[in-house]
Structure 1
Amino acid sequence: MGCNVDNDVFLRDIQADDLPIFFEQQLDATANFMAAFTAKEPGDKDAFKAHWEKIINKETIIKKTIIYHGKVAGHVSSFEQFGEQEVSYWIGRQYWGQGVATKALFQFLDYINVRPLYARAAKDNTASIRVLQKCGFKIISEDKGFSNSRSEEVEEYILKLSSLQAIAD
């Protein structure tokens, strides 16, 4: 990969103890607004548990916990959606703006050998779009869909990573 990765961010397999942290992170209203396409009821613990049980048990989903300075900072995954392999990540808001998402995504791209690889981001989520672009994704299209967190249709960019190499600033 074309990035100097510090030892302050690393990925590991998801553990049961990570899930309560993921749940707390998804309760953040600002993070939900930025992500746009989120759980219908972020505070529904049963729905959260069922969702993560599916993710953990589905072997075709590649998923990792993001560790930053020894703490669970979020998660990153790749899965099939709309017939294409996509990547998605969630970073706890207290870790925003520290390069955690970019470093984690660069590392994660080593796990994903499928190209092209796609990602989606709300058009106004400029931070996430920048993370994806730093990792070599290019905006190729636009779409829109209903956002649970915003209770309205939201425009999004579809991004594509074509090669096995990423470019960092």
Structure 2
Amino acid sequence: MDVSLRPVRPSDLPVFFRHTSDPESNRMAAFTAEDPTDRTHFDARWKRILASPDVVTRTVLADGDVVGHAAVYGDPGEREVTYFIDRSHWGRGIATAALRGLLAEAPERPLLARVAADNTGSVRVLEKCGFKVIGEDRGFANARAAEIDELVLRLDA
């Protein structure tokens, strides 16, 4: 499978909305929008993301199909990675390949990542890409309507 990244196009946004509206994907991601089915909020959020010169955002393609997105965002020294892959493509190495590509495009270090502690798939992706667990935290997860444990990971040089 050919996994690649490209800049986000307006035509990608309806696909991202469909991906991020999936209840099971949201439960696993945990830290999501309060109402992931609110298209107005989604559009406003993506307008801000795409207008920010401080955010590196890419569309993830698998064999030419839009299957997700990945980004680096935040203040210098506290920059974080995030990614979201459509559930129908989980377990195929796409997130790992996409994150490796993103890390090559955004070489600044350190980079942080936060993940629900029980999201073992995402923890594996981050660790395969060189991230190390540096701490634990608790936070309110909109998708689970509860406070949950999360892991904080960091990628150094």
TM-score, scaled relative to structure 2: 0.97
What amino acid maps onto 1:61 in structure 2? V
Contact 2:77 2:109 in 1 (8 A): no
Residues 22-46 of structure 1 show CA distances to partners (whole Å, capped at 9, x for unaligned) of 0000111111001000010011000
Q: Which runs of 5+ in 2 are unaligned?
A: none
Residues 48-103 of structure 1 show CA distances to partners (whole Å, capped at 9, x for unaligned) of 00000000000100000000011001000000169600000000001101100000
Runs of 4+ in 1 over 6 A off after TM superposition: none
Q: Which runs of 5+ in 1 are unaligned?
A: 1-5, 164-169
Measure, in 2, the Cα distance between the counterparts of 1:96 and 1:141. Answer: 26
Q: Is residue 88 of structure 2 the alignment partner of residue 88 of structure 1?
A: no
Which residue does 2:4 correspond to in 1? 10
- Aligned match for 1:77, one of 71, 78, 90: 71
Q: Alignment partner of 1:149: what SS?
A: helix
Measure, in 1, the Cα distance between the counterparts of 2:144 and 2:58. Answer: 27
Q: Alignment partner of 2:74: what SS?
A: strand
Q: Alignment partner of 1:128: what SS?
A: helix
Q: 1:148 to 1:65 in 2, by over 3 A?
A: same
- Aligned match for 2:123, one of 121, 129, 133: 129
Q: Alignment partner of 1:144: what SS?
A: strand
Measure, in 2, the Cα distance between the counterparts of 1:93 and 1:26. Answer: 10
TM-score, scaled relative to structure 1: 0.90
Q: 1:82 to 1:40 in 2, by over 3 A?
A: farther
Aligned residues: 157
Q: Is residue 150 of structure 2 the alignment partner of residue 156 of structure 1?
A: yes
If each structure's helix is expressed as a fraction of its own residues, which one has the higher value? 2
- Aligned match for 2:114, one of 109, 112, 120: 120
Q: Alignment partner of 1:84: what SS?
A: coil
- Aligned match for 1:38, one of 24, 32, 36: 32
Which residue does 2:22 correspond to in 1? 28
Q: 1:70 to 1:90 in 2, by over 3 A?
A: same
- Identity of aligned pairs, percent? 46
C-alpha RMSD of the superposition: 1.2
